[in-house]
Amino acid sequence: MKKWLIYSVLCICLSCSNEPTDADTDAYVPTPSPLEIPELFENLIIAPVLPIDNPQTVEGIALGKKLFFDPILSADNTQACASCHAPQNAFTDSTRFSIGIDGIAGNRNSMPLFNMAWNYDELFFWDGRAFSLEHQAIEPVTNPIEMHNTWDVVVSRLQQNDEYPQLFEAAFGDQTITKELATKAIAQFERTLISANSKFDRYLLGDATLTQQEQNGLNVFMDENRGDCFHCHGNPNNPLWTDNIFHNNGLDATFSDLGLGEVSGDPADNGKFKSPSLRNLAFSAPYMHDGRFNTLDEVINHYSEGLVDSPTIDPLMKKVDEGGVHLTPQDKSDLKAFLLSLSDPSFINNPDFQN
Amino acid sequence: MKKIFALLFFCFVLISCKNDDDNIDCCSQPIVTDVTFTFSHNWEDTEVTENDFNTMQYINANGEVLTIARIRYLLSRFELVNTNGESFPLTGYKLIDLSNPESFTFNTTISDGTLYPGLYTLKFVYGFNEEDNIDGAYPDLNSASWNWPAMLGGGYHFLQFDGMYNVDTTSSPFNYHNGTARISDGNYEQNFVSFEFFPEVEINYNTTIEIKMDISEFFKNPITWDLNQYNTPLMPNYDAQKMMQQNVGSVFSIGQITQE
């Protein structure tokens, strides 16, 4: 009877134990580096999307940054992510179409990169074909008109490199390199590319004053009778300045590039592309998915007089039968001044984002 | 002694195995903690889904042929009132987007009071009332770009209904957007609609109530809406805003109520 009682008590004690095992305590944990959420974002919009299987860490971000700027990813070791996503251009390309390693041009302007953790639907590229930042980072390496490489080659090169195995071990606790870990690291770095210090941001925080022209431009932006920009491009309470949704904004009557329609297979999506953020327009020319407009004036003129009807045009493109709402020259000038107040020089000059 | 020790041991085991969920007063009536709403959408008797957008043609009461591109709407202040007139508010508000079927379900809890199974009158508010319609106050709605311009009184949209009309002839956009009505600069008028449904609905422990939207009613009752006159822009148009408020009154009804 006594033995039976002793065994029972031991069993209960063991089953109630929550103590970590040796294996648990030995597991390597890189240094957490939580995303620094800007005050304005914290106050106004919901939390960023951070995958639980890829937490931000000091070592992961550092590795991602090194990979982002390293031409080792391309087949001939000539192009890095940063070649088409340059910091001084708000991480886009100043040329209309980026030229890949074989001298072949793409058919879209590279997207600027910032505030991507707040893309709540996690659909990336102009046509939304990649779900999650990690998956997005896979494609440019293998795209035949971009880096034109294979991930097998990239992984092999990284594995044989003098530095990378140690950096992967520091970031993920494993010297064995995979494309999944490489893109996780790149995604961690990209999530740190946060822009929230424009003049207009500081105005919202009470630290700056808008000029009369900028204030007038905000009114044009928010006026359904005039600019009506806010339905797709945010507003002072949504400082992302994009809805991250896909629209046909009246660029063409027929489509050589189907955009979202190519991805979904639904003809109703033909000619739809993701609304880009209006932040950092001062640095991110040319504009539109195909970079057809070199200046902000051209963009404003498009919405004012240049709208073209098509079967999938978004009904938010008002007065399309008249080409647009026909803003006055003063309204156009004011709108441009306001839009430029959304640019953030501290973002493109942030030393953490430079090679 | 052995028997006493063994008895004490079994008491210990029994106590340590006691589940917190067992801690229910067996003599009191269980209370209702939450209610689920589902939202369905139709044009008269025809169901409308995102798959119908941009392609399916509908004829409104004024005879215009139209297609739908986008519908989002906000409901708030869900409330149950018992036969003694006691009110039981439900938590939160709901933005429904016809492009996102996940938004068609809203499970909400009783925010105040003890609610027992029985017959209740259902109330809710279309949009936000003046107390709730606080500019920029709701991060989820800000993130959905659901804001209503400050120059029109601020706060939030109640409805965003976009489409094309006269699609059989010269197709043109309409933007049937509803929110606070601007009388003049700096002078605004609330524009929400309070709904109260009769007869009472039976509320039990797992009740789901279907809220039906008949989209055709936006153009029909009591005002026959002429899209040739009122198409876009309508947000700054006081008359259009107040006409929308009137027509919303017949848009919503209660559908199926299930107890599962």
Q: At A282, list the tokens.
A: 């001062």
For chain A, percent helix, then strand, then coil, each to nearest 5?
A: 40, 5, 50
Angle at A243 between CA A182 and CA B249, to 5 degrees: 140
Banded model confidence at residue A234, pLDDT cuts 50, 70, 90: very high
In whole angstroms, how far apart are CA B176 and each of B51, B62, B147, B236?
20, 15, 15, 12
What residues does CATH 1.10.760.10 cover in chain A? 39-194, 199-348
Which residue is it, tokens 């009246």? Answer: A250
Alpha carbons A54 and A226: distance in angstroms, whole number: 44
Banded model confidence at residue A27, pLDDT cuts 50, 70, 90: confident
**Chain B residue at shortest CA distance from A241:** B145
Contact A196, A41 (CB under 8 A): yes
Q: pLDDT tens digits for A272-306?
A: 999 999 999 999 999 999 999 999 999 999 999 99
B233 and A318 within 8 Å at the Cβ level: the answer is yes
The answer to whether A233 is annotated as binding is yes
3-state secondary structure of A2: helix
A315 and B164 within 8 Å at the Cβ level: the answer is yes
pLDDT at B53: 96
pLDDT over 70 for what percent of chain A?
93
Which positions ≥6 away from A126 have C-beta within 8 Å? A108, A111, A259, A273, A274, A289
pLDDT at B15: 43
Beta-bridge mates of residue B107: B36
Q: pLDDT tens digits for A47-85?
A: 999 999 999 999 999 999 999 999 999 999 999 999 999
| Cis peptide preceding A239, ω within 30 of 0 | no
Angle at A70 between CA A69 and CA A75, to 5 degrees: 130
A223 and B151 within 8 Å at the Cβ level: the answer is yes
pLDDT at B124: 98
B149 and A223 within 8 Å at the Cβ level: the answer is yes
Alpha carbons B244 and B226: distance in angstroms, whole number: 12
Mean pLDDT of A157-161: 98
| Most distant pair of Cα atoms in chain B: their distance | 99
pLDDT at B28: 67
Q: Is the pLDDT confidence value at A347 over 50?
A: yes
The DSSP 8-state label assigned to residue A276 in this structure reads: P
Q: Nearest-CA distance from B15 to chain A in Å?
A: 13
Half-sphere exposure of B230 (CA within 13 A, CB side): 21
- Return the amino acid letter for A90: A
Q: Is the pLDDT confidence value at A237 over 80?
A: yes
In whole angstroms, how far apart are CA B154 and each of A209, A297, B12?
21, 29, 62
Alpha carbons B73 and B71: distance in angstroms, whole number: 7
Domain A199-348: CATH superfamily, name plus number:
Cytochrome c-like domain (1.10.760.10)
Least CB-CB distance to A268: which of B54, B164, B170?
Answer: B54
Least CB-CB distance to B145: which of A46, A235, A317?
Answer: A235
Check if A163 contacts B (Cβ < 8 Å): no
pLDDT at B3: 52
Domain A39-194: CATH superfamily, name plus number:
Cytochrome c-like domain (1.10.760.10)
Q: Is the pLDDT confidence value at A102 over 80?
A: yes
**Chain B residue at shortest CA distance from A11:** B13
A316 and B175 within 8 Å at the Cβ level: the answer is yes
Strands B193-203 and A246-247: unpaired
Rg (CA), chain A: 24
Which residue is it, tokens 């045009």? Answer: A313
**Which of these, A254, A258, A259, A232, lies nearest to A245 by C-alpha position?**
A232
- Tell me the whole-structure pTM to 2 decimals: 0.91
Q: Is the pLDDT confidence value at A19 over 90?
A: no
3-state secondary structure of A321: helix
The answer to whether A247 is annotated as binding is no
Alpha carbons B211 and B122: distance in angstroms, whole number: 11
| Cis peptide preceding B101, ω within 30 of 0 | no
In whole angstroms, how far apart are CA B100 and each of A198, A291, B97?
33, 31, 5
Question: Tell me, what's the ipTM?
Answer: 0.92
Q: Nearest-CA distance from A150 to chain B in Å?
A: 36
* pLDDT, one tens digit for every residue, chain B (260 residues): 455 554 444 444 444 444 443 444 444 678 999 999 999 999 999 999 999 999 999 999 999 999 999 999 999 999 999 999 999 999 999 999 999 999 999 999 999 989 999 999 999 999 999 999 999 999 999 999 999 999 999 999 999 999 999 999 999 999 999 999 999 999 999 999 999 998 899 999 999 999 999 999 999 999 999 999 999 999 999 999 999 999 999 999 999 999 98
CB contacts of A12 in chain B (<8 Å) are 13, 16
Alpha carbons A232 and A189: distance in angstroms, whole number: 27
Alpha carbons A351 and B12: distance in angstroms, whole number: 63
Q: Is the pLDDT confidence value at A267 over 70?
A: yes
pLDDT at B260: 80
Contact B31, B115 (CB under 8 A): yes
CB contacts of B67 in chain A (<8 Å) are none
Q: Nearest-CA distance from A178 to chain B in Å?
A: 35
User: What element of type H or E holds B159?
Assistant: strand B159-165
Q: pLDDT tens digits for A173-225?
A: 999 999 999 999 999 999 999 999 999 999 999 999 999 999 999 999 999 99
**Sign of the C-alpha dihedral, residues A85, A90, A94, A95?**
positive
| Cis peptide preceding B233, ω within 30 of 0 | yes
pLDDT at B26: 45
